Amino acid sequence: MAKPRLGEFERIARFFAPLAGKGALGLKDDAALIDGPSGTHYVLTTDTIVENVHFRADDPPGRIAQKLLRVNLSDLAAKGAVPAGYLLNTALPKSRGEAWLEKFAAGLAADQKEFGIALLGGDSVATAGPVTLTVTAIGTVPKGKALLRNGARAGDSVYVSGTLGDAALGLKALRGELMRLSAKYRRDLIDRYRLPEPRMELGRRLIGIASAAMDISDGLAADLAHLCDASGVGAIVEAGTLPLSPAVRAALKSDPSLLASVLGGGDDYEILFTASPGAARKLPRLPVTEIGRIEAGRGVTVRGRDGQALKLTKLGYAHF
């Protein structure tokens, strides 16, 4: 019998973690830290996106560029870092000519302005396969202050920024599902799938407040489980407190089973963090919602409005 294939996390743990050096944070934090100029650390983070895996071939090139940058900026935000620069690697098939590149570069230009970041270097190669894009982003934090995943402690509250599930339902809408939703709601969801909103200001403000933080890219349930594993704790989430957009509320109303996508769908790019109860009061005017608490033990339980634990059929989105 063939051995079962390892998932992404097992592969990293088995093959790459033994190669990790100082500053790599055990390859568990989606970022590395190296000494910066006086009193600072550089945060390094990198993400690769592949056509038909992480974006659709017919997504607008400018939006693909922005999503590529923003998934990396979201990792910087979750560390509390201020963006400094980025490197860009493009592997493009012949079908992507100058017209495509021009729109792609315009998307980068718009977001460079929006987020105060500039291109530092990169590489451009040809491929016979799908468009494959890598950004490595660099940010700065006060030395020793980067937000990590391993600091959550029993008694902390669990918080998320913004709203959850929009991107996962946006992907469904792009695939022609959710046709009972209004056209405006479908468009709102699709926009959120295509264009995440990295929480740069919130991330910086969380330094000194959050005990642990990460961005949500694989879905709330899976990513909270990662944070809990790194911290050696468990968590309870109250489903009734999850922050939901009007479009997601409408979708859940017509099909309550979509809650699995809200909890388990990817691409939210919101910040998940833990802090002492009441910490939200220290963050006025920032979109932060308390959704649960950290407990001793292990594992993540999501409780429905009736107080019963929900059985999740899909704990998150796995790339393998």
Residues 74-133 that bind a copy of itself (CB under 8 A): 84-85, 87-91, 94, 97-98, 101-102, 104-105, 108-109, 112, 117-130, 132
Tell me the closest approach of the beta carbon of residue 109 to a copy of itself, in angstroms. Answer: 6
Question: For a copy of itself, which is the closer residue by CB, 31 or 171?
Answer: 31
Segment 49-78, which members bind a copy of itself (CB under 8 A)?
Answer: 49-50, 52-54
Q: Output the smallest distance, CB 157 to a copy of itself, in A.
A: 29
Residue 194 in tokens: 């295509």
Residues from 134 through 173 that contact a copy of itself (CB under 8 A): 134, 136, 138
| Cβ closest to a copy of itself, residue 27 vs residue 315 | 27
Out of 1, 13, 24, 278, the residue judged to bind a copy of itself by CB under 8 A:
24
Q: In this structure, are strands 271-275 and 132-142 parallel, antiparallel, or unpaired? A: unpaired
Which one of residues 20, 174, 286, 310 is an interface residue with a copy of itself (CB under 8 A)? 20
Q: Which is nearer to a copy of itself, 227 or 235 (CB)?
A: 227
**Contact call for residue 255 and a copy of itself (CB under 8 A):** no
Nearest to 42 by CA among 138, 144, 148: 138
The Cα 4–Cα 14 span in angstroms is 15
Taking each helix axis from N to C end, the angle separating 246-254 and 166-174, rounded to the nearest 10 degrees, works out to: 70
Q: Which of residues 35 and 255 has its CB atom nearest to a copy of itself in the complex?
A: 35
Q: Is 105 helix (H, G, I), strand (E, B) or coil?
A: helix
Please state the closest distance from residue 2 (CB atom) to a copy of itself, in A: 9
Query: Which of the residues 27 through 46 are near a copy of itself (CB under 8 A)?
Result: 27, 30-32, 34-38, 42, 44-46
CB-wise, 8 or 255, nearer to a copy of itself? 8
Minimum CB–partner distance for residue 134 and a copy of itself (Å): 5
What's the Cα-to-Cα distance from 259 to each of 4, 104, 177, 262, rounded to whole Å? 29, 34, 15, 5
- Return the axis-axis angle of helices 246-254 and 183-194, rounded to nearest 10°: 120
Shortest distance (Å) from residue 90 CB to a copy of itself: 8
Q: Which is nearer to a copy of itself, 129 or 297 (CB)?
A: 129
The SS3 of residue 292 is strand
CA 105, 108, 110, 116 dihedral sign is: negative
**CA distance linking residue 55 with residue 190, whole number of Å:** 12
Residues 6+ apart with CB under 8 A from 97: none
- 227's tokens: 């944070």
State the minimum distance, in angstroms, from the CB of residue 257 to a copy of itself.
Answer: 27
Least separation, in Å, of the C-beta of 12 and a copy of itself? 6
Identify which of 314, 159, 146, 186 has the alpha carbon closest to the alpha carbon of residue 242: 159
Q: Which of residues 202-221 bind a copy of itself (CB under 8 A)?
A: none
* Shortest reach from residue 45's CB to a copy of itself, in Å: 7
| Contact set for a copy of itself, span 257-316 (CB under 8 A) | none
- Whether 178 and 251 have beta carbons less than 8 Å apart is answered as yes
